[in-house]
Amino acid sequence: MRLRALWVVAGLVFLLSAASADAQFARDKWEITPFVGYETSGSYPLNPQTSGVTVNDLRVDGASSFGTFIDYSLTHNAQAEFMWGRNLTSYSAQIFPGEPFFKYANSSLATYCDPFFGCYTRKSRITSIAVIS
């Protein structure tokens, strides 16, 4: 019972302390927030007879993603925000079931977002490492 009361008090303290964020508006007009993340791998089973591809399984390998947000405060309740994000992805393929995967291709995505034109994702050329015949 005492532990539950302690959690309730801690939660209330955190909720009530969030009101101080309003006082930070006039301090800085610009805000730069970098971010880093990780994309886990995933596998997509394919059927060569029905899909028309020559691989049995395609895997998106895990990779890091990174970028930044740049914000400018226009008014007390509005801000303009620009986001740039980068994701370096590689793909692995498996020709027959039970065989090991091999590196198939590399790809890179860059995403740009701004409040006036929306988001734009630029895909670099996919570099094929292996040719499957």
pLDDT (tens digit per residue) in 106-123 = 777 777 777 777 777 777
Q: pLDDT at position 124, please?
A: 66
In a domain, 49, yes or no: yes
Q: For the chain, how long is the longest CA-to-CA vector?
A: 68
Q: With 60 as the cut, is the pLDDT of residue 23 above it?
A: no
Main-chain dihedrals φ then ψ at residue 60, nearest 5 degrees: -90, 115
Q: With 60 as the cut, is the pLDDT of residue 21 above it?
A: no
User: What is the domain range of residue 70?
Assistant: 26-128
* Selection from 116, 108, 124 nearest residue 83 by Cα: 116
In a domain, 12, yes or no: no
| Structural domains in the chain (count) | 1
In a domain, 118, yes or no: yes
CA distance 124 to 29: 34
In a domain, 2, yes or no: no
Q: pLDDT at position 36, please?
A: 93
CB atoms closer than 10 angstroms to residue 12: 10
In a domain, 60, yes or no: yes
In a domain, 21, yes or no: no
